[in-house]
Structure 1
Protein backbone atom coordinates (compact mmCIF):
# COMPACT_ATOMS: atom_id res chain seq x y z
CA UNK A 1 0.00 0.00 0.00
CA UNK A 2 1.31 3.39 -0.99
CA UNK A 3 0.88 6.28 1.38
CA UNK A 4 2.09 8.89 -1.04
CA UNK A 5 -0.06 9.71 -4.01
CA UNK A 6 1.62 10.22 -7.33
CA UNK A 7 1.75 13.74 -8.65
CA UNK A 8 -0.11 14.23 -11.87
CA UNK A 9 2.42 14.86 -14.61
CA UNK A 10 0.12 17.00 -16.70
CA UNK A 11 0.09 19.95 -14.29
CA UNK A 12 0.85 23.40 -15.65
CA UNK A 13 4.03 25.22 -14.71
CA UNK A 14 2.30 27.65 -12.28
CA UNK A 15 0.63 24.73 -10.49
CA UNK A 16 3.93 22.86 -10.14
CA UNK A 17 5.65 26.05 -8.92
CA UNK A 18 2.84 26.59 -6.38
CA UNK A 19 3.25 23.03 -5.10
CA UNK A 20 7.01 23.55 -4.83
CA UNK A 21 6.53 26.81 -2.89
CA UNK A 22 4.04 25.21 -0.51
CA UNK A 23 6.49 22.35 0.06
CA UNK A 24 9.27 24.84 0.87
CA UNK A 25 6.95 26.74 3.21
CA UNK A 26 6.07 23.47 4.98
CA UNK A 27 9.76 22.53 5.29
CA UNK A 28 10.64 25.94 6.79
CA UNK A 29 7.70 25.84 9.21
CA UNK A 30 8.64 22.38 10.45
CA UNK A 31 12.39 23.07 10.61
CA UNK A 32 12.19 26.36 12.51
CA UNK A 33 9.01 25.65 14.49
CA UNK A 34 7.02 28.39 12.79
CA UNK A 35 3.87 26.24 12.96
CA UNK A 36 3.76 26.92 16.71
CA UNK A 37 3.76 30.70 16.33
CA UNK A 38 0.67 32.82 16.77
CA UNK A 39 -0.70 34.42 13.58
CA UNK A 40 0.98 37.72 14.44
CA UNK A 41 4.33 36.05 15.01
CA UNK A 42 3.95 34.13 11.73
CA UNK A 43 3.21 37.37 9.91
CA UNK A 44 6.32 39.01 11.36
CA UNK A 45 8.48 35.96 10.62
CA UNK A 46 7.35 35.66 6.98
CA UNK A 47 7.64 39.44 6.52
CA UNK A 48 11.27 39.35 7.65
CA UNK A 49 11.99 36.34 5.41
CA UNK A 50 10.39 38.09 2.42
CA UNK A 51 12.24 41.33 3.15
CA UNK A 52 15.62 39.59 3.37
CA UNK A 53 14.94 37.58 0.20
CA UNK A 54 13.82 40.69 -1.70
CA UNK A 55 16.85 42.71 -0.60
CA UNK A 56 19.20 39.87 -1.54
CA UNK A 57 17.57 39.49 -4.95
CA UNK A 58 17.72 43.21 -5.69
CA UNK A 59 21.36 43.42 -4.61
CA UNK A 60 22.21 40.43 -6.79
CA UNK A 61 20.48 41.91 -9.82
CA UNK A 62 22.09 45.33 -9.34
CA UNK A 63 25.65 44.46 -8.35
CA UNK A 64 26.47 40.96 -9.66
CA UNK A 65 27.11 42.02 -13.30
CA UNK A 66 29.54 44.75 -12.17
CA UNK A 67 31.27 42.32 -9.83
CA UNK A 68 31.66 39.67 -12.54
CA UNK A 69 33.07 42.30 -14.93
CA UNK A 70 35.54 43.43 -12.25
CA UNK A 71 36.69 39.83 -11.70
CA UNK A 72 37.11 39.26 -15.45
CA UNK A 73 39.14 42.46 -15.80
CA UNK A 74 41.29 41.50 -12.82
CA UNK A 75 41.92 38.05 -14.32
CA UNK A 76 42.82 39.71 -17.64
CA UNK A 77 45.30 41.93 -15.81
CA UNK A 78 46.91 38.97 -14.04
CA UNK A 79 47.18 36.93 -17.24
CA UNK A 80 48.27 39.65 -19.68
CA UNK A 81 49.57 42.45 -17.48
CA UNK A 82 49.26 46.12 -18.28
CA UNK A 83 45.96 47.91 -18.43
CA UNK A 84 42.99 45.95 -17.12
CA UNK A 85 40.64 47.84 -19.46
CA UNK A 86 42.11 45.97 -22.40
CA UNK A 87 39.96 42.93 -21.79
CA UNK A 88 36.99 44.26 -23.69
CA UNK A 89 38.53 47.07 -25.72
CA UNK A 90 39.45 45.74 -29.14
CA UNK A 91 41.18 49.00 -30.05
CA UNK A 92 43.74 48.47 -27.26
CA UNK A 93 44.41 44.92 -28.41
CA UNK A 94 44.80 46.05 -32.03
CA UNK A 95 47.11 48.91 -30.99
CA UNK A 96 49.25 46.52 -28.95
CA UNK A 97 49.47 44.11 -31.88
CA UNK A 98 50.49 46.96 -34.22
CA UNK A 99 53.18 48.09 -31.79
CA UNK A 100 54.54 44.58 -31.47
CA UNK A 101 54.55 44.17 -35.23
CA UNK A 102 56.31 47.50 -35.78
CA UNK A 103 58.91 46.60 -33.15
CA UNK A 104 59.56 43.26 -34.81
CA UNK A 105 59.87 44.95 -38.23
CA UNK A 106 62.28 47.54 -36.82
CA UNK A 107 64.39 44.87 -35.20
CA UNK A 108 64.39 42.91 -38.48
CA UNK A 109 65.48 46.03 -40.39
CA UNK A 110 68.22 46.69 -37.82
CA UNK A 111 69.39 43.10 -38.08
CA UNK A 112 69.59 43.20 -41.88
CA UNK A 113 71.42 46.54 -41.83
CA UNK A 114 74.02 45.26 -39.35
CA UNK A 115 74.40 42.07 -41.37
CA UNK A 116 75.05 44.04 -44.58
CA UNK A 117 77.55 46.32 -42.79
CA UNK A 118 79.39 43.31 -41.40
CA UNK A 119 79.45 41.73 -44.85
CA UNK A 120 80.85 44.93 -46.39
CA UNK A 121 83.62 45.05 -43.78
CA UNK A 122 84.66 41.50 -44.60
Structure 2
Protein backbone atom coordinates (compact mmCIF):
# COMPACT_ATOMS: atom_id res chain seq x y z
CA UNK A 1 0.00 0.00 0.00
CA UNK A 2 1.06 3.57 -0.51
CA UNK A 3 2.41 5.27 2.60
CA UNK A 4 2.52 8.96 3.49
CA UNK A 5 5.84 8.41 5.26
CA UNK A 6 8.51 5.80 5.77
CA UNK A 7 7.76 5.69 9.48
CA UNK A 8 4.47 4.97 11.21
CA UNK A 9 5.32 7.63 13.82
CA UNK A 10 5.75 10.38 11.23
CA UNK A 11 2.59 9.24 9.45
CA UNK A 12 0.68 9.51 12.74
CA UNK A 13 2.12 12.97 13.44
CA UNK A 14 1.20 14.19 9.94
CA UNK A 15 -2.32 12.76 10.24
CA UNK A 16 -2.79 14.38 13.66
CA UNK A 17 -1.54 17.74 12.44
CA UNK A 18 -3.83 17.62 9.41
CA UNK A 19 -6.98 16.41 11.16
CA UNK A 20 -6.71 18.03 14.58
CA UNK A 21 -4.46 21.08 14.42
CA UNK A 22 -6.02 22.17 11.12
CA UNK A 23 -9.37 22.49 12.89
CA UNK A 24 -8.10 24.42 15.94
CA UNK A 25 -8.47 27.91 14.44
CA UNK A 26 -11.87 27.03 13.02
CA UNK A 27 -13.20 25.69 16.31
CA UNK A 28 -11.88 28.62 18.34
CA UNK A 29 -13.45 31.10 15.92
CA UNK A 30 -16.68 29.16 15.96
CA UNK A 31 -16.72 29.16 19.75
CA UNK A 32 -16.26 32.93 19.79
CA UNK A 33 -19.25 33.56 17.51
CA UNK A 34 -21.57 30.77 18.68
CA UNK A 35 -24.21 31.54 21.33
CA UNK A 36 -23.92 28.02 22.78
CA UNK A 37 -22.16 27.61 26.08
CA UNK A 38 -18.57 26.46 26.33
CA UNK A 39 -19.63 23.18 27.90
CA UNK A 40 -22.01 22.48 25.00
CA UNK A 41 -19.28 23.18 22.46
CA UNK A 42 -16.77 21.07 24.38
CA UNK A 43 -19.24 18.21 24.60
CA UNK A 44 -19.93 18.44 20.86
CA UNK A 45 -16.23 18.41 19.99
CA UNK A 46 -15.55 15.42 22.27
CA UNK A 47 -18.50 13.43 20.88
CA UNK A 48 -17.44 14.27 17.33
CA UNK A 49 -13.87 13.15 18.02
CA UNK A 50 -15.04 9.87 19.55
CA UNK A 51 -17.31 9.12 16.59
CA UNK A 52 -14.45 10.00 14.21
CA UNK A 53 -12.03 7.66 15.99
CA UNK A 54 -14.58 4.82 15.95
CA UNK A 55 -15.12 5.34 12.21
CA UNK A 56 -11.33 5.28 11.64
CA UNK A 57 -11.02 2.03 13.60
CA UNK A 58 -13.78 0.41 11.54
CA UNK A 59 -12.08 1.57 8.34
CA UNK A 60 -8.71 0.26 9.56
CA UNK A 61 -10.25 -3.13 10.35
CA UNK A 62 -11.74 -3.26 6.84
CA UNK A 63 -8.31 -2.47 5.38
CA UNK A 64 -6.64 -5.16 7.47
CA UNK A 65 -9.27 -7.74 6.49
CA UNK A 66 -8.65 -7.02 2.78
CA UNK A 67 -4.96 -6.15 2.84
CA UNK A 68 -3.93 -8.38 -0.08
CA UNK A 69 -6.76 -7.13 -2.28
CA UNK A 70 -5.96 -3.49 -1.51
CA UNK A 71 -2.26 -3.73 -2.36
CA UNK A 72 -1.49 -0.96 -4.85
CA UNK A 73 -4.98 0.57 -4.75
CA UNK A 74 -4.80 4.36 -4.39
CA UNK A 75 -8.30 4.86 -2.93
CA UNK A 76 -8.97 1.71 -0.90
CA UNK A 77 -12.24 2.92 0.62
CA UNK A 78 -13.68 3.54 -2.84
CA UNK A 79 -12.54 0.09 -3.95
CA UNK A 80 -14.13 -1.58 -0.92
CA UNK A 81 -17.37 0.32 -1.45
CA UNK A 82 -17.49 -0.77 -5.09
CA UNK A 83 -16.86 -4.39 -4.02
CA UNK A 84 -19.92 -4.25 -1.77
CA UNK A 85 -22.08 -2.76 -4.53
CA UNK A 86 -21.26 -0.82 -7.71
CA UNK A 87 -24.05 1.62 -6.81
CA UNK A 88 -22.52 2.12 -3.36
CA UNK A 89 -19.14 2.71 -4.99
CA UNK A 90 -20.63 5.38 -7.27
CA UNK A 91 -22.38 7.11 -4.36
CA UNK A 92 -19.19 7.02 -2.31
CA UNK A 93 -17.25 8.45 -5.25
CA UNK A 94 -19.59 11.45 -5.38
CA UNK A 95 -19.30 11.88 -1.60
CA UNK A 96 -15.51 11.68 -1.87
CA UNK A 97 -15.35 14.42 -4.51
CA UNK A 98 -17.66 16.62 -2.40
CA UNK A 99 -15.48 15.96 0.65
CA UNK A 100 -12.39 17.16 -1.21
CA UNK A 101 -14.02 20.56 -1.69
CA UNK A 102 -15.55 20.85 1.78
CA UNK A 103 -12.35 19.92 3.61
CA UNK A 104 -10.94 23.39 3.04
CA UNK A 105 -14.09 25.19 4.21
CA UNK A 106 -12.92 25.59 7.84
CA UNK A 107 -9.59 27.04 6.72
CA UNK A 108 -11.25 29.47 4.31
CA UNK A 109 -13.74 30.46 7.02
CA UNK A 110 -10.92 31.10 9.50
CA UNK A 111 -9.01 33.32 7.09
CA UNK A 112 -12.04 35.31 5.94
CA UNK A 113 -13.19 35.73 9.54
CA UNK A 114 -9.87 37.41 10.36
CA UNK A 115 -9.83 39.52 7.20
CA UNK A 116 -13.40 40.77 7.58
CA UNK A 117 -13.04 42.06 11.13
CA UNK A 118 -13.63 45.80 11.39
CA UNK A 119 -10.15 46.78 12.53
CA UNK A 120 -8.13 43.97 11.00
CA UNK A 121 -4.46 44.81 10.69
CA UNK A 122 -2.61 42.87 8.03
TM-score range, shorter chain: 0.3 to 0.5
Higher normalized helix content (fraction of residues)? 1
| Alignment TM-score, normalising by the size of structure 2 | 0.32
Larger relative contact order, structure 1 or 2 (CA cutoff 8 Å, min sep 6): 2
Higher Rg: 1
| Alignment TM-score, normalising by the size of structure 1 | 0.32
